[in-house]
């Protein structure tokens, strides 16, 4: 069981869609550029009951809309280290999508440098390995109209409801451009150390920004179990879409791995084996 103080339950850095004080494992979910905890709101209903979903809430969005967003990686990670504090103890795992994958990875590296408990698993999606150069032109310094057009050409990532509302778009753009600044100014600092926890990589089969070989390139960052899975869809294959089963397949894959982590941490072998087989095998 993970200890939870009253202060941690009211932490401004996370949103718990379904608080579970008796959870055996926490899954911290890091959003992609421009997004917030709402992306992961329904995940708590589709993952093992022993897992508490903790969606990361960065400044500049949702309940923290009035706060200035970060524009570079190092201060963002330092803010997370201080803001999450004692929550990063006991059993926990990270999931990050696109920019969120890099944030999760760099936070894990910072925790390792400090000698603190590490996540038991890293789930990363739609992000090329950090040492691979991105040769595309940066977007974050473009004028607003050109920025919006370029983001739509590259990712089709701005929801129509925002694009069609000038006031919403004006509220949304500063955070999105700040997040792109974090992504586009990021430079991987070489480190000879490798992690030992499992890495699971996921991507959209038709995502031109993250081909399978760019996901496979994460293999060198861990000596533990490593896997790559691709699903139908583009960069945002994880979004709920009635025409695609990709979101459901992703959550099934994550649930399967989390059940194995729970089993390894002291659950019932019979229950854990049955759960793993029910999800498609080990």
Rounded Cα–Cα distance for residues 70 and 59 (Å) = 7
Does the predicted TM-score (pTM) go above 0.85? yes
Query: How does residue 208 score in pLDDT terms, banded at 50, 70 and 90?
Result: very high
pLDDT in tens, 211-238: 999 999 999 999 999 999 999 999 999 9
Whether the pLDDT of residue 273 is over 60: the answer is no
Query: How does residue 150 score in pLDDT terms, banded at 50, 70 and 90?
Result: very high
218 — phi, psi (to 5°)? -75, -15
Whether the pLDDT of residue 144 is over 60: the answer is yes
For the chain, domains (ranges, CATH) are 6-135+192-277 (3.40.50.1820)
Query: How does residue 8 score in pLDDT terms, banded at 50, 70 and 90?
Result: very low
The torsion defined by the Cα of 50, 43, 204 and 127, in degrees rounded to 10, comes to -70
Whether the pLDDT of residue 281 is over 80: the answer is no
* Mean pLDDT over the full length of the chain: 90
Whether the pLDDT of residue 267 is over 80: the answer is no
Q: Give residue 156's pLDDT.
A: 86
Tokens 């089963």 appear where? Answer: 245
Q: Give residue 278's pLDDT.
A: 38
34-73: burial string, b at 16+ Cβ within 10 Å, e else: bbbbebbeebbeebbebbbbbbbbbbbbeebeeeebbbeb
Is 133 or 266 the better-scoring residue by pLDDT?
A: 133
Active site residues: 98
pLDDT in tens, 88-116: 988 999 999 999 999 999 999 999 999 99
pLDDT in tens, 32-81: 999 999 999 999 999 999 999 999 999 999 999 999 999 999 999 999 99
Q: Can you tell me the mean pLDDT for 176-202? A: 96
Rounded Cα–Cα distance for residues 235 and 126 (Å) = 6
Rounded Cα–Cα distance for residues 206 and 102 (Å) = 21
């Amino acid at each position: 069981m993970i200890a939870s103080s009253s202060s941690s339950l009211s932490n401004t850095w996370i949103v718990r869609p379904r608080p579970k004080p008796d959870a055996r494992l926490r899954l911290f979910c890091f959003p992609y550029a421009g997004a917030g905890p709402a992306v992961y709101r329904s995940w708590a209903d589709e993952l093992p009951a022993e897992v508490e979903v903790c969606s990361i809430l960065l400044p500049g969005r949702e309940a923290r809309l009035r706060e200035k967003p970060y524009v570079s990686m190092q201060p963002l990670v330092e803010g997370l280290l201080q803001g999450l504090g004692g929550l990063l103890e006991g059993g926990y795992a990270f999931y990050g999508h696109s920019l969120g994958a890099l944030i999760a990875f760099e936070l894990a590296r910072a925790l390792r440098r400090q000698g603190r408990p590490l996540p038991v698993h890293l789930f990363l999606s739609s992000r090329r390995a950090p040492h691979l150069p991105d040769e595309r032109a940066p977007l974050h310094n473009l004028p607003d109209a050109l920025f919006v057009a370029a983001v739509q050409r590259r990712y089709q990532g701005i929801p129509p409801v925002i694009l069609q509302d000038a006031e919403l778009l004006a509220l949304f753009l500063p955070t999105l451009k700040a997040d792109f600044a974090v992504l586009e100014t990021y430079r991987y600092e070489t480190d000879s150390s490798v992690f030992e926890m499992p890495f699971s990589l996921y991507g959209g089969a038709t995502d031109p920004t993250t081909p399978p070989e760019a996901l496979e390139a994460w293999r060198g960052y861990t000596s533990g179990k490593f896997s790559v899975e691709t699903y139908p869809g583009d960069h945002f294959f994880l979004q709920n879409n009635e025409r695609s089963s990709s979101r459901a397949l992703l959550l099934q894959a994550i649930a399967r791995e989390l059940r194995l982590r729970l089993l390894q941490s002291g659950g019932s072998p019979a229950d854990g084996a049955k759960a793993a087989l029910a999800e498609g095998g080990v």
